[in-house]
């Protein structure tokens, strides 16, 4: 017998003589109850209010329904929960969990929801550097960039002896007529070319750039700004900059050498470099063919380009033969042999930079940092920062609340799926708001452990030193 449905209920047959019916009539129910952990994380690191302070609001106070902190928090929490589009917020503004996270259960006006819809959030994203008649909210890019580094510094109880700053550029495809779009031959599409700077899992910079420029364009300014900021707090920390061959530029290496910053950069192979390791490649080929396994040898030498480098530098070569062919690789470094032997430098220090690509994937795939569909680069840069702040929030949750759990090394997407997307019934009474989550949640124990740890961290932050 075919099932029947109406606008109010849906019939799914029967089970053991009982009719199975469904309807959207449960009242205050949320599918994002786990987002309470996002609010707890924000209280532990106090990020949303500080991010909101990077905006300037010239709207008339008596007409304001949604404060900037509410708008900023709503956007960051929404991205962390998987809502990439502003259109989603026309429904989310009625979600009880969004109201709880905003600390605002009802609007002052009867025709408004507790949090904002897509139009109000769109005006926030289109905010300019200076307020205008039609854009009363403006933002301060310098303050936003400074906040990312401050949050990194505060994540450490004490200054480390050494930190490694990873630089990388990636493609951000665009599908419209956005300002600054450019066809990139390597990626074979119209795109932006954002520059990311990470230190381990910590995001320190996300700079949107046109794809018409070199991968290393602007890297000296970004590294100088970050290093200056870090050394004000940690004057004795040793800093190493690491990147692939797209960043082996003389101006960046010269700046590092002049400012006491070490570096390890990949170097693209060429005929002159390959000639330097001809004997090592021959030995590797003989050993590989004899054993049937990949073989590699390492060599170091002083080298400079014919015109683009201003001086000779130490180059480490990996002469490898694998899968029936030569696979030479080269890196240039300021580290001396006494500080780091060739094999260790390449295999342990340089190759570890590949983990940064996983962090970029988290930002772009899990948190929609590539959702740059606004008309202007300024608005798309702001979108990139919203996604970056969502990453920082989830990274803090992972660091503070999820250590020594199965989610200690989980991606942002896995954390969202397992810990944030939890169905719950929300009951609001005079004295409390009860969020009754699904009893069968498989991650309930780890969720509770994270909530406890985050509450302790928030309490420690609120307590006087």
Q: Specify whether the CB–CB gap between 31 and 94 falls below 8 A.
A: no
Cα 92 → chain centroid: 23
Residue 289 sits in the same domain as residue 400: no
275 shares its domain with 147: yes
245 lies in some domain: yes
Q: Which domain holds residue 295?
A: 142-366
Paired sense of beta strands 182-184 and 189-192, if any:
antiparallel
Q: State how far the Cα of 288 lies from the Cα of 299, in Å rounded to an integer.
A: 18
Burial of 123 (0-12, 13-18, 19+ CB in 10 A): middle
Residue 203 bridge partners (DSSP): 198
Task: Flag residues of the chain having pLDDT under 50.
Answer: 1-3, 5
Q: What is the pLDDT of residue 1?
A: 40
- pTM exceeding the 0.85 threshold for the entire prediction: yes
Residue 2: what pLDDT?
46
Secondary structure letter of residue 181 according to DSSP: -
Question: Where is the domain boundary, 322, 343, 366?
Answer: 366
The set of long-range contacts for 439-448, using a CB threshold of 8 Å and a minimum separation of 24, is 442/418, 443/407, 443/418, 443/419, 446/402, 446/405, 446/406, 446/407, 446/419, 447/34, 447/37, 447/419, 447/422
CB of 401 closer than 8 Å to CB of 451: yes
Residues 347 and 457 in one domain: no
Examine the domain organization and report whether 134 and 197 are in the same domain: no
In a domain, 14, yes or no: no
What's the pLDDT at 3? 47
Number of domains in the chain: 2
Residue count of the chain: 465
Q: Are residues 335 and 255 in the same domain?
A: yes
Q: Which of 347, 366, 385 is the last residue of a domain?
A: 366
Residues 229 and 262 in one domain: yes
């Amino acid at each position: 017998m075919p099932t029947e449905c109406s606008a109010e209920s849906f019939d799914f047959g029967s089970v053991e003589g009982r009719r199975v019916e469904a309807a959207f009539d449960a009242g205050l129910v949320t599918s994002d109850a786990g987002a309470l952990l996002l609010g707890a994380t924000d209280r532990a690191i106090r990020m949303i209010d500080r991010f909101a302070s990077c905006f300037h609001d010239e709207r008339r106070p008596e007409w304001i329904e949604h404060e900037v902190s509410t708008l900023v928090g709503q956007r960051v929490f929404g991205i962390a929960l998987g809502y990439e589009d502003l259109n989603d917020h026309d429904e989310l503004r009625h979600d009880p969990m969004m109201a709880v996270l905003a600390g605002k259960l009802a609007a002052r006006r009867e025709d408004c929801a507790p949090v904002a819809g897509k139009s109000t959030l769109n005006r926030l994203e289109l905010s300019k550097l200076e307020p205008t008649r039609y854009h009363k909210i403006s933002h301060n890019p310098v303050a936003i960039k400074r906040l990312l580094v401050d949050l990194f510094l505060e994540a450490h109880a004490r200054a480390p002896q050494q930190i490694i700053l990873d630089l990388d550029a990636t493609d951000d495809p665009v599908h419209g007529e956005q300002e600054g779009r450019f066809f990139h031959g390597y990626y074979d599409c119209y795109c932006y070319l954002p520059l990311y700077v990470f230190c381990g899992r910590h995001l320190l910079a996300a700079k949107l750039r046109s794809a018409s420029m070199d991968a290393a364009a602007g890297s000296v300014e970004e590294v100088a700004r970050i290093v200056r900021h870090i050394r004000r707090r940690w004057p004795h920390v040793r800093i190493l900059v690491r990147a692939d061959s797209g960043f082996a530029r003389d101006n960046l290496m010269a700046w590092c050498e002049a400012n006491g910053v070490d570096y390890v950069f990949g170097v693209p192979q060429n005929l002159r470099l390959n000639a330097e390791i001809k004997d090592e490649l021959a030995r590797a080929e003989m050993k590989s063919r004899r054993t049937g396994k990949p073989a590699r040898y390492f060599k170091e030498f002083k080298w400079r380009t014919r015109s683009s480098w201003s001086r000779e530098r130490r180059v480490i070569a990996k002469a490898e033969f694998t899968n029936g062919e030569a696979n030479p690789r080269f890196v240039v470094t300021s580290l001396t042999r006494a500080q780091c032997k060739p094999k260790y430098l390449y295999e342990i220090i340089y190759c570890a930079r590949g983990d940064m690509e996983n962090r970029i994937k988290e930002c772009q795939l899990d948190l929609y940092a590539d959702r740059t569909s606004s008309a202007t680069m300024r608005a798309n840069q702001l979108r990139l920062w919203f996604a970056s702040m969502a990453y920082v929030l989830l990274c803090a949750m992972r660091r503070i609340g999820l250590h020594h759990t199965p989610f200690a090394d989980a991606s942002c997407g896995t954390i969202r799926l397992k810990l944030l997307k939890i169905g719950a019934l929300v009951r609001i009474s005079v004295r409390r708001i009860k969020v009754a989550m699904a009893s069968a949640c498989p991650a309930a124990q780890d969720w509770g452990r994270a909530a406890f740890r985050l509450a302790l961290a928030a309490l420690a932050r609120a307590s006087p030193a």
